[in-house]
Amino acid sequence: MGEFWEFVLAPVLIFESWQFGMEVVISGLLAGVMYSLVALGFVLIYKASGMFNFAQGVLVLFAALNLAGFIGLGIPIPLAILLTIGVMILFAIVVEYLILRHLVNQEQIILFMATIGLAFFLSAFGETIWGSDVKKLDVGIPQGRFEPFGIQIQYLELTAGAVAAALVTVLAIFFNKTKIGRALRAVADDHQAALSVGINLRTIWIIVWAVSGIVALVAGTMWGAKSGVQFSLSEIALKALPVLILGGFESIPGAIIGGLIIGLGEKLAEVGWGPYVGGAIEDWFAYILAMVFLVFRPQGLFGEKIIERV
Amino acid sequence: MFYREAGQFYTSYAKDQGIFQLRQDKYGLWGILFIAFIVIPVGLYLLVQGGLMAASTKDYLYNSIFLLLLVNSMAALGLNILTGYCGQISLGTAGFMGVGAFAAYKFSTGMNYRNQHEDDAGELVSQLVPMLPPIDNPLILMILAGAVTSVVGVIFGLPSLRIKGFYLAVATLAAQFFLVWCFSRVEWLYDYVSSSTIQVPPMKLFGLVVTGSETVMRDGQQVTIYPAAETKYLICLATVVFFAFVAKNMVRGRIGRAWMAIRDMDIAAQLIGIRPLATKLLAFAVSSFFCGVAGAMLFIFYLGALEGAEAFNINESFAVLFMVIIGGLGSITGAFLGAAFITLIPIFLVIFFPWLGGQFGIPVSTALVEHIQFMIFGALIIIFLIMEPLGLARLWQIGKERLRQWPFPY
């Protein structure tokens, strides 16, 4: 086999040692689960308010900072989690009161820029209160790993997978079975129609932002337990963006499947091609993958088909 | 009373098509150019000569404020063409600026590549071999940098035919991250130095030292000449003014109208005979050209030495996007106003907070200043978007309307 083919097939060739290959696949999929969690919060807000919420990544950091901060103050973990949820709900109310209601009917790009402003504000605010050093976040997830069939799996990764599955189930029940969930879906379908049947848009926005905040808390806890709570968390969360364009902005299953594809793809690419080109291709591989994919399917995997009329 | 069109008639088609319909606008622009080109350099020179201002203050003003302002205006002009006029949101501006900077570096050092071979003793010898003669004229370098960047911009603009809106915005992030990765991993770009830092070589223009220093014999003594801040300022100013006129005339002509038609509704534009691919790619090319020139300017005049991954990170892209939005989408004046706003606010905050802390005897740490600066910056942007989503250009327009009626609003 020539050198060229060795390079092209590098991500496949790592399966020569199938245990190593499986480890790469599993760690890729679990990184993907984390991306999905961030993307999930984003999709919720986009569906309910048409807002391309760039601050979702920072929201993850902010939630994790709060949780780590509360635990650092000596508050017991369950109480600290409740407190953080309280902070996220309060945050949702403040955002609605100070920002969203003033930006109704603005163009999408204006909303988008406002969320970037919010991201700037929130990350600096969190660090002003809790300090900018790296914090350990220990919420009692067991450390260590076990090795079925010689494949090393971290307990943390397993827990993350289980928590994500549970979260998605709870959200699915919330959306499909409760009255609020039905109202949320109505708003996502058509703002005007939802208003006309008596759904209060502002309440819905608060609920959606609070739910995204709680999803961000889950994501932040997982990331934080893995690599400590620090500013780079919000940059890792930027990876949720290619996940979104892969899965489609409006689709929750899209966010999950997109996350898995991106996580797996970039891990395989990094392990396979990274050594040939100097490493760290994880930084951009997801974006290029998503971009190439978009050329063939511009609305993402599960996005609503864009129908254009003059 | 003073600002009105009464009594100004257009007696020929050429006059009717003029850039400045109002005589007052024309005089105003000449006035601004006069201030920028003559009053500021001469005034500051006189202030320093007269002992009213320290020479270091003058250099600080030029090197840290005016130059940055000009570089940012240039980048904002570029992004405004793409986002404001053609409606394609781009988050890759910093990446494109980086391409400009590195292109300027490679052309100024002669496109070195590394030739590795074994010498007679069997040891590995590596040497840098130039492929082209080095160019030491900053103007030519800026044009070349712009040309290279527009090629890169067109490549990353290709998906824009299929992808629209925010999907495209995220796709341009691919350009941002990929290019920045190249700046720290592709060794050829930074001549194989281990720190991946590029440094501007000595340059001269019209016999004046622009970068680096020059040692000459004068009266039997060796004298080292350092570049004057004024030289850099005037070169940058002339470049920016030139390109602003190019942009203004482009957007009010056939090309600009095609861009705006695509922005407002691309299918309708297609129906009236505008080719979307060619038009969008042209917007990407022109916009990237401007960004490339801005990057080259940043590198040659403002920073002098830089590390690609640090100087062109994603926050720079957002900063330029903020300039365009806050200045006003689709307005050349807005690009300048927005650049001034976004450039000056952080500088002001950095100076203001330690001063405020000093007044009350509270020591303000640098980290805290940085955090507060970000918080205020973020809050200001939100407030601004809520108060005037159409940007500073719109405020300027409202001001002009008021001025027409002033002081008799009936």
**Is any Cβ of chain B less than 8 angstroms from the Cβ of A307?**
no
Cα B368 from Cα A132, distance rounded (Å): 10
Domain ranges for chain B, please list them.
54-405
Cβ–Cβ contact B159 with A under 8 A: yes
Alpha carbon of B97 to those of A205, B73, B173: distances in Å? 38, 13, 14
Average pLDDT of A171-181? Answer: 84
CB contact under 8 A, B166 and A52: yes
Q: B17-49 burial by CB neighbour count: b if 16+ within 10 A, else e?
A: eeeeeeebeeeeeeeeeeebeeebbeebeeebe
Interface test with B, best of A45, A62, A245 (most B CBs within 10 A): A245
Q: What phi and psi values does residue B75 have, to the nearest 5 degrees?
A: -65, -40
Task: Assess B218–A contact: CB distance below 8 Å, yes or no.
Answer: no
Q: Give Cα B187 distance to the centre of its chain.
A: 26
What local confidence, expressed as pLDDT, does residue B286 receive? 93
Per-residue pLDDT averaged across B123-132, rounded? 76
Asked if B181 lies within 8 A of A281 by C-beta distance, the reply is yes
Among the ranges given (A158-172, B255-269, B308-322, B363-377), the one the predictor scored with the smallest mean pLDDT: B363-377
* A196-253 per-position pLDDT tens digit: 888 888 888 888 889 888 888 888 888 777 777 777 777 766 778 888 878 777 777 8
**Average pLDDT of A152-164?**
77
Whether A305 shows a pLDDT value over 70: the answer reads no
pLDDT at site B60 = 82
Of A123 and B103, the structure prediction assigns the larger pLDDT to: B103
pLDDT for res A141? 67
Measured between alpha carbons, how far is residue B73 from residues A145, B69, B243 in Å? 54, 6, 10
- CA–CA gap between residue A228 and residue B273 (Å, rounded): 56
Whether B400 has a pLDDT exceeding 70, the answer reads yes
Amino acid code (one letter) for B326: I
The answer to whether A57 and A120 have CB atoms below 8 angstroms apart is no
pLDDT of amino acid B75: 92
Q: Do B167 and A298 touch (CB under 8 A)?
A: yes
Determine the average pLDDT of the residues in B211-230.
74
pLDDT at A307 over 70: no
User: Chain B window 160-179: which residues touch A at a Cβ cutoff of 8 Å?
Assistant: 162-167, 169-171, 173-174, 177-178
Q: Are B171 and A119 in contact (CB < 8 Å)?
A: no
**ipTM for the predicted complex:** 0.82
Spatial distance between the Cα atoms of B237 and B242, rounded to a whole number of angstroms: 8
Q: Above pLDDT 90, what percent of chain B?
A: 17
The answer, yes or no, to whether residue A255 has pLDDT greater than 70, is yes
B254–A contact, CB cutoff 8 A: no
Does any CB of chain A come closer than 8 Å to the CB of residue B274? no
Mean pLDDT of B68-96: 90
The CATH code of domain B54-405 reads: 1.10.3470
Question: CB contact, 8 Å: B396 with chain A?
Answer: no
Confidence label for A150 from pLDDT (cuts 50, 70 and 90): low
Q: B182 in contact with A at a CB cutoff of 8 Å?
A: no
> What confidence score (pLDDT) does residue B241 get?
92
A291 touching chain B per CB within 8 A: yes
A278 contact residues in B (CB cutoff 8 A)? 185-186
pLDDT tens per residue across span A19-63: 777 778 888 888 888 888 888 888 888 877 777 888 888 888 888
* A113 touching chain B per CB within 8 A: yes
Closest residue in chain A to residue B391, using alpha carbons only: A110
Contact map slice: B 23-62 vs A, CB within 8 A: none
| A250, two tokens | 């409006």
CB-CB contact of B93 with B307 (8 Å) = no
Query: Nearest residue on chain A to B174, judged by CA atoms?
Result: A287
Share of chain B above pLDDT 70, in %: 98
Contact A51/A249 with Cβ under 8 angstroms?
no
Nearest-CB residue to A114 (from B170, B370, B382): B382
pLDDT at B149: 93
Are the CB atoms for A112 and A52 separated by under 8 Å? yes
pLDDT at B368: 75
CA distances from B282 to A68, A223, B79, B278, B294 (A): 50, 42, 13, 6, 18
Nearest-Cα residue of chain B relative to residue A291: B171
Q: Which two tokens mark A19?
A: 């245990």
Q: What is the pLDDT of residue B121?
A: 75
For Cα atoms A300, A302, A304, give the angle at the middle one, nearest 5 degrees: 85
Mean pLDDT across B71-78: 92
| Residue B389, both tokens | 């989503």
| Chain B residues inside the 8 Å CB shell of A52 | 166, 169
A107, A121, A128 ranked by CB distance to B368: nearest:
A128
* Interface residue A148 vs chain B (CB under 8 A): no
Q: Does residue B322 sit at the A interface (CB-CB below 8 Å)? A: yes
What angle do helix axes B138-157 and B229-251 make, rounded to 10 degrees? 40
CB-CB under 8 Å, B372 with A124: yes
Q: What is the mean pLDDT of the segment spanning B155-172? A: 81
Residues 6+ apart with CB under 8 A from A274: A280, A281, A282
Q: What are phi and psi of A218, to 5 degrees?
A: -60, -50
How close A57 gets to chain B, by Cα (Å)? 14
Mean pLDDT computed over every residue of chain B? 83
Answer whether B173 sits within 8 Å of A241, measured CB to CB.
Answer: yes
Q: Please tell me if residue B67 touches chain A, with a CB cutoff of 8 Å.
A: no
3-state secondary structure of B52: coil
Which of A123, A294, A310 faces B267 most closely, judged by CB atoms?
A310
CB-CB contact of B272 with B261 (8 Å): yes
Q: Is the pLDDT of residue A151 over 70?
A: no
Q: Residue B114: which H helix or E strand, with range?
A: strand B113-118
- Contact (Cβ atoms closer than 8 angstroms) between residue B258 and residue B279: yes
DSSP A229: B
| Amino acid identity for residue B171 in this structure | A
DSSP label at B69?
A: H
